[in-house]
Amino acid sequence: MIILTIPEFIGRFHPILVHLPIGILLLGCLFQLLTLNAKFVFLKPAIPMICLLGALAAIFSCASGYLLSASGDYDGNLVDLHFWMGISVSVISLLLYLMYWKAVKEIFLNVTSAALIILITLTGHYGGSLTHGSDYMTAALKGEASKVAIPPVPDVQKAIAYTHLVQPLLQNRCYSCHGSEKQKGKLRMDNISFMLKGGEDGASLIPGRANESDLIKRMLLPISNDDHMPPKEKPQLTAEEIAMLQWWINEGATADKKVSDLKQPAEIKPILLSFQTGAVLAKKTVAADIPEEEVEKADAAAIEKLKKVGVVVIPVLSNSNYLSASFVTAKADPAVLKLLEALNKQLIWLNLASASITDQTMGNIVKLQNLRKINLSHTAITDQGLTLLKDLKKLQVINLVGSKVTALGIIAPLTGLKELQHLYLYQTGVEQKDQAKLKAAFKKVSLDFGNYTLPFLAQDTTVVK
Amino acid sequence: MTRDELNAYRLVKEANEIQAAAYTRRHFLKESAMGLGALAMGALFGSCNFGGTKGNNPVLYDAAHPLLPKSPPFLGKAKSVIYLHMAGAPSQLELFDFKPELMKMNGQDCPPSLLAGKKFAFITGVPKMLGPQANFAQHGQSRAWVSDNMPHFSTMTDDVSFLKAVSTDQFNHAPAQLLMHTGSARLGRPSIGSWVTYGLGTENQNLPGFVVLTSGGSFPDAGKSIWGSGFLPSVYQGVQCRSEGDPVLFIKDPHGMSRDLRKASIDAINASNLEEYATYNDPEIQSRVAQYEMAYRMQISAPEVMNINNEPQYIHDMYGTQPGKACFANNVLLARKLVEKGVRFVQLFDWGWDAHGDGPANSLNIGLKNKCRSTDKPITALLLDLKQRGMLEDTLVVWGGEFGRTPMMENRNGIQNPYNGRDHHTEAFTMWMAGGGIKKGYTHGETDEIGYSAVSGKVDAFDIQATILNQLGFDHEQFTFPFQGRPFRLTDVAGKVIRDIVA
C-alpha cells in the first residue's frame, strides 16, 4: 500500500495540469502571430488576458511539477532540464503579458511569441520523455521489435545467460521505468549490481534464491495486485520467461557464465530451447488442421442439394471456403454421396458415423482429395472399402470404430498416408494379437484400440455409513 | 379559374406566407439544434453497432431456423461440451489439492491472519484447522495428486488439465453457480450452454442443442436460471431431460391422439402463431413455432437416442449405471450418447456435495465419500469411452463446483460441527478440463501450503468461460449479443483465456 503525503498527492496532478498552460499559451502566441496579417488584428485585445491566464497556469504547473519531482522516481538530469524550462515558460509568458501593457514594439512581441512556442514544445517533449521514456516516440518507427522480449539466439547453450537471455528480457520489459532515465521506486535494473542494491523495498535480486527475490515475487503476484510487476497495462512476461529468470537467479545470477556452464535441471531444458532460433520452426511442421492455401468457394447449388437431404454442410470457420459435412441426420445414399464430389476441393472433414455407407458406395468419396478427417465409425465398411482410402493422402484422422476392418486390411492402404496422426480401431475386426503388428506398421500414428474396462471395486457399490 | 377559386388560392398563399414569416432564422437555429444533435447521436451510436448488423459480430439469430448449425469465427478444437457440475462445491482438499502442512496443523486454532477481514458463510469466531480427510498419492506420468476417494479417476491424470487455483467472489451456492454458468451472480443472463447453442447452433435438428441432466435428488440451488437463456431468444435455453422413463416429460402422444392428429394440431397452432407474428413481428413467436416443430421431431428421435437401455452390458458395467433409477451414472452415459448424435452442450448437475459437517450426509468422511463413489466410475468411464470412440478430440469435458472449501473445520455459530466438514471457500479450489484441445497431463496453478489461497495461476469463472468459448472457436471478447442498448458478452468485461492449458 502506497500512502501519499499531501504534497505528493498534489504532485500527481502535474501531468494533467500541464496541459492548461500548453494550450492557453500556444493559443496566445498563435493569436499574436496571426495579427501579422491585417485580417486578424481584431484578435489583439484578447491576447493580454490569454497570456495572463497562461502564465498563472504555468506557475501552478511548475509548483505541482516540483512536488512530483520531489518523489525522486525520475532521471535527475532530465528532471532538472524540464524544471528550468518550465520556469522559463512561466517567466517569459508573464513577461509577454507585461510587454502588452508597456506597449512595446510589435516585432518584440512576435519574436517573444515565436520563442515561447518553441520553448513550450521542448518543455512538453521533455516532460513526455520523463513519463513515457525517451524512446516512446521513436519506438513506433523502430517497428515491432519490442514484441519479442528475447531475440532468438542461434545456439542457446553457447549463449551467455545474462547478456543474451536475461538482459534483453529486462531491457524490453523493465528498463523503461527502472533504467538510466527513470528509477521508479528508486530502483535501477540495467545492471546486476543495481539490482542487488535494489530500491525502496530492498534488494530486487538475491542470487541463489529466486523465489525470495523481489524481482520474481512481484512477477508471480496476481496481475490484479498493485505490487505486481510489470504493471498490468504493460506487456507481461510469459511463464517460460519467468522460469528462465528463476533458473538464472538460482544458478547464482552470474554476469558472464555461458548457459552450458550452468546446471540445467530437466524442466528448464525445453524452456531454454524455446529461446533458440528454429524452436518455433520445429513446432510448425506439425500438420495444420486446415490447409494453408486458399481455395475458391464451393458450388452453392451442390451445398443446397445436400442440405435438402439433411446433410450438415458448413464452413469449418466463418469466412473460410473449406467445408465440413456431417451425416448425423442424413442417409448416405449413393446419390447423396455423389453430390459430395462437387465439393472435392473444399471438403476437409467428413462425418459418416452410423451413416449407411457401404463398400460399394465408398467409391463416391475417393475423389475428396483434401479430406483431413473422416469418421466411418459404426458403418458396414470392410477391408475392401478401406482400400479406397489409400489415395486420400491428406488424411490425418480416421475413425473406424465399430466397423468390420481387420489389421491386414488397415496396413496395406493406410501405411502410405504420410500425414496420418490418429487411427481409432475400437470394436473393429482387429484382434488382440494383431495390435503389435499395427503398432510396428504405424510408428508415428497414435492408435487407439479401445476396449477400456474399469475394475470392479468394492467401494463402487458400497455406501459409507 | 373562377374568381372564388382565385380568392381561395390567394387566401391560402397569404396564410402560408404569414406562417413562413413567423419562422425566423433564430427559430430555425433553435429548432434544428435538437435535430442536428439527434443526427449526431445517431452517428455516434451507430458505431456502437446496435442490432449488430455491421462489423464482425452480427446477430446470429435466424428466427425461422434458430438452431441450424453455424461455423465458429475461429477454428475451434471442440465441437461439443459436457460440463459436469458438482453442485454444492466438492472439497478440493479431499480430492486433488494435497496439503501435508495442513495435516500438521490439524486441530490447532486457525491463525488470525487467515480470518482478519474475511467473511465466511458459516464460520464465526476462531475455527480449528482440519487436515486432509483422505489419503493422497501421485498418479500417472504427470505425477498429479489424487486422493483415494477417486480410485478410478486417478488413472486418468495423464488425460486432463487441472486448474488448482480457481477463485470466485461469491460464497453462497446460488450466486456462485450463476456466476459460473452465466457470468453474473445476479439473475437474468444467458447460461454458457445458451450462448454456445446461439453461436454454433446444433448438428442434429431432431434433438435439443442444449440438454440439462440433473441428479442427486435435488436441483442446484440457483434453480433453472443456470440453464436459462436470459436475454437470448428463449429457444436457446437448456432442455431438461431424464435418463429414466420418458426422456422428456409428456413426449408420448396421449391416449387416443394419433400421430397424424398430433401433426395436424401442431400445424394449426403454428399457422395461428404465424398470423400473430405477421401482426406483431415479435421474434419470440417464431421461437415458439420452431419449438413446437422441434418437439414434434423429437418425439420420433429422442426416445431412441435417449434410451440408455439399448447400450451393451459392458458399457453399463463400465459406467456403473443403475437401470431404472435416476442417477448420475445414467446421466453421464446419456450425455455421451447425446454428444455422439450431435448435441452441442450437455450440462450435468449432481447435487449433494455441500460437506459442511452438520450431518452425516454432509460430512467429509461419509457424505463426500459416497458422492465420490457415485461419480468416480461414471466420470472415468466417460473419459475412456469418449477416447476410444475418437470423440475426446472434439468434446470438451469440464468438471468442477461453484467454489471450494475452507482448510478450517466449520464451526457453525461458533460451535464445532458434529461431523468433519468445511465451510464455503472462495479463494482457491480445483477444477479440471479434458479433451477438446486441452493439454493432457498438465496442472495449472498452485495454492499455498495449506490450500487457503492461490499462489500462482489464479483463474476465475470468467477465465474458464473464456477458455471454453476459445476451444469452441470464439473470441469471448467478440462474441456478443445486443441487449438494452449495448452489446453483452458472457464474460462481460473480464476473462482471459487460460492459454497454459490449451494444447
Candidate from A316, A399, A459 with C-beta closest to B390: A399
What would the mean pLDDT of A437-456 be, rounded to a whole number?
91
> Which backbone phi and psi does B69 adopt, to 5 degrees?
-65, 140
What would the mean pLDDT of B196-205 be, rounded to a whole number?
93
pLDDT in tens, B314-324: 999 999 998 88
Q: Which three cell numbers stand for residue A55?
A: 502564465
Residue of B nearest to A211 (CA): B455
For chain B, percent of residues with pLDDT exceeding 90: 64
- Chain A: closest CA distance from residue B338 (Å): 11
Separation of alpha carbons B445 and A11, rounded Å:
40
- What is the pLDDT, as a whole number, of residue A143? 47
> Which backbone phi and psi does B128 adopt, to 5 degrees?
-90, 155
- What is the pLDDT, as a whole number, of residue A148? 62
- Chain A: closest CA distance from residue B236 (Å): 19
- Chain A: closest CA distance from residue B38 (Å): 31
Q: Are B457 and B445 in contact (CB under 8 A)?
A: yes
Tell me the pLDDT of chain B averaged across its residues: 89
Do the Cβ atoms of A239 and B500 come within 8 Å? yes
- What is the pLDDT, as a whole number, of residue B57? 59
- Chain B: closest CA distance from residue A378 (Å): 10
Question: Domain coordinates of chain A in residue numbers?
Answer: 6-132, 147-284, 300-448
pLDDT in tens, A272-315: 887 876 544 334 344 457 887 888 888 899 999 999 999 999 99
Q: Are B198 and B232 in contact (CB under 8 A)?
A: yes
Orientation of helix A106-132 relative to helix A19-34, angle to 10°: 150
pLDDT over threshold 50, residue A230: yes
- Taking CA atoms, A92 is separated from A62, A119, B239, in Å, by 13, 10, 76
Q: Which three cell numbers stand for residue A10?
A: 498534489
Neighbouring-strand partners of residue B400: B85
Separation of alpha carbons A255 and B251, rounded Å:
75
Q: Are B205 and B299 in contact (CB under 8 A)?
A: no
* Out of A186-195, A422-431, B125-134, B354-363, least confident range: A186-195
Q: Which of A460, A461, A462 to mutate to test the interface with B (most CBs of B within 10 A)?
A: A460
Give the 3-state secondary structure of residue A306: helix
Among A181, A266, A169, A253, which Cα is nearest to A219's? A169
Q: Where are the beta strands (DSSP E) in A304-381?
A: 312-315, 323-326, 347-351, 373-375
Candidate from A401, A452, A459 with C-beta closest to B390: A401
pLDDT over threshold 60, residue A253: yes
Separation of alpha carbons A273 and A279, rounded Å:
7
- What is the pLDDT, as a whole number, of residue B34? 67
Contacts of B387 in chain A (CB under 8 A): 448, 450, 452
Separation of alpha carbons A97 and A444, rounded Å:
84
Do the Cβ atoms of B387 and A315 come within 8 Å? no
Separation of alpha carbons A19 and A23, rounded Å:
6
pLDDT over threshold 50, residue B227: yes
Virtual CA dihedral for B162, B163, B165, B166, nearest 10 degrees?
Answer: -140
What would the mean pLDDT of A360-385 be, rounded to a whole number?
91
- What is the pLDDT, as a whole number, of residue A88? 93
Among A209, A177, A180, which Cα is nearest to A196's? A209
- What is the pLDDT, as a whole number, of residue A282? 39
Do the Cβ atoms of A453 and B318 come within 8 Å? yes
Question: Residue A323 — very low, low, confident or very high, per pLDDT cuts 50/70/90?
Answer: very high
For chain A, percent of residues with pLDDT exceeding 90: 34
- What is the pLDDT, as a whole number, of residue B94? 95
Candidate from B151, B390, B500 with C-beta closest to A448: B390
- What is the pLDDT, as a whole number, of residue B273? 93
Q: Does A290 touch chain B (CB under 8 A)?
A: yes
pLDDT in tens, B364-404: 999 999 999 999 999 999 999 999 999 999 999 999 999 99
Identify which has the larger pLDDT, A155 or B180. B180
pLDDT in tens, B489-498: 999 899 999 9
Which DSSP symbol is given to A74? B
Q: In this structure, how many other beta carbons lie within 10 angstroms of the beta carbon of residue B469?
A: 29
- Chain A: closest CA distance from residue B6 (Å): 54
Candidate from B203, B390, B473 with C-beta closest to A424: B390
Tell whether the torsion through CA atoms of A245, A248, A252 and A253 is positive or negative. Answer: negative
Q: In this structure, how many other beta carbons lie within 10 angstroms of the beta carbon of residue A217?
A: 16
What would the mean pLDDT of B301-309 be, rounded to a whole number?
84
pLDDT over threshold 90, residue B334: yes
Separation of alpha carbons B45 and B330, rounded Å:
51
Do the Cβ atoms of B389 and A450 come within 8 Å? yes
Q: Which fold has domain B52-61+79-248+306-501?
A: Alkaline Phosphatase, subunit A (3.40.720)
Residue of B nearest to A323 (CA): B71
pLDDT in tens, B62-120: 777 888 999 999 988 999 999 999 999 999 999 999 999 999 999 999 999 999 888 88
Q: Does A37 touch chain B (CB under 8 A)?
A: no
Contacts of A448 in chain B (CB under 8 A): 387-388, 390
pLDDT over threshold 50, residue B418: yes
Identify which has the larger pLDDT, B266 or A233. B266
Kindly write down the DSSP assignment for every residue of A155-199, as one continuous string. -GGGSBIIIIIIHHHHHHHTTTTBSSSBBGGG---SSHHHHHH-B
Among B422, B444, B485, which Cα is nearest to B121's? B422
Question: Residue A126 — very low, low, confident or very high, per pLDDT cuts 50/70/90?
Answer: confident
pLDDT over threshold 80, residue B50: no
Q: Are B84 and B444 in contact (CB under 8 A)?
A: no
- What is the pLDDT, as a whole number, of residue B501? 93
- What is the pLDDT, as a whole number, of residue B1? 67
Which amino acid does the sequence have at A282? Answer: A
Q: How far is CA A83 from the centre of its chain?
A: 38
Among B501, B346, B348, which Cα is nearest to B435's? B501
pLDDT in tens, A168-192: 888 888 888 888 877 888 888 888 8
Separation of alpha carbons A204 and A216, rounded Å:
8
Separation of alpha carbons B393 and B398, rounded Å:
14
- Chain A: closest CA distance from residue B75 (Å): 6
* Out of A5-9, A128-132, A362-366, B33-37, least confident range: B33-37
Do the Cβ atoms of B320 and A460 come within 8 Å? yes
- Altogether, the residues listed in chain B come to a count of 503
Identify which has the larger pLDDT, A287 or B10. B10
- What is the pLDDT, as a whole number, of residue B230? 93
For chain A, percent of residues with pLDDT exceeding 70: 93
Q: Does A115 touch chain B (CB under 8 A)?
A: no
Do the Cβ atoms of B393 and A397 come within 8 Å? yes
Q: Does A240 touch chain B (CB under 8 A)?
A: no
Q: Which three cell numbers stand for residue A113?
A: 511569441
Kindly write down the DSSP assignment for every residue of B62-115, as one continuous string. -TTSTT-----SS--S-SEEEEEEEET---GGGTT---HHHHHTTTSBPPGGGT
Virtual CA dihedral for A223, A224, A228, A229, nearest 10 degrees?
Answer: 60
pLDDT in tens, A186-220: 888 888 888 888 888 888 889 988 888 888 989 88
Look up the CATH superfamily of A300-448.
Ribonuclease Inhibitor (3.80.10.10)
- What is the pLDDT, as a whole number, of residue A283? 41
pLDDT in tens, B135-163: 999 999 999 999 999 999 999 999 999 99
Separation of alpha carbons A109 and A96, rounded Å:
7
Separation of alpha carbons A189 and A201, rounded Å:
14
Tell me the pLDDT of chain A averaged across its residues: 86
Among B406, B464, B396, which Cα is nearest to B434's? B396
Q: Which of A459, A461, A462, A465 to mutate to test the interface with B (most CBs of B within 10 A)?
A: A459
Do the Cβ atoms of A328 and B203 come within 8 Å? yes
Separation of alpha carbons A380 and A154, rounded Å:
54
Q: Number of CB pairs < 8 Å for A and B? A: 106
Geometric angle at alpha carbon B80, from A347 and A425, rounded to 5°: 65
pLDDT in tens, A394-413: 999 999 999 999 998 999 88
- The interface predicted TM-score of the complex, written ipTM, equals 0.83
Give the 3-state secondary structure of residue A427: coil
Identify which has the larger pLDDT, A222 or B178. B178
Question: Residue B275 — very low, low, confident or very high, per pLDDT cuts 50/70/90?
Answer: very high
- What is the pLDDT, as a whole number, of residue B38? 67
For chain B, percent of residues with pLDDT exceeding 70: 94
Q: Which three cell numbers stand for residue B59?
A: 446477430
What would the mean pLDDT of B11-21 be, rounded to a whole number?
82
Question: Under 8 Å CB-to-CB from B419, ≥6 apart: which residues?
Answer: B357, B358, B359, B360, B362, B363, B364, B365, B366
pLDDT over threshold 50, residue A229: yes
Tell whether the torsion through CA atoms of B351, B355, B361 and B367 is positive or negative. Answer: positive
For A71, half-sphere exposure in the C-beta direction (CA atoms, 13 angstrom radius) is: 23
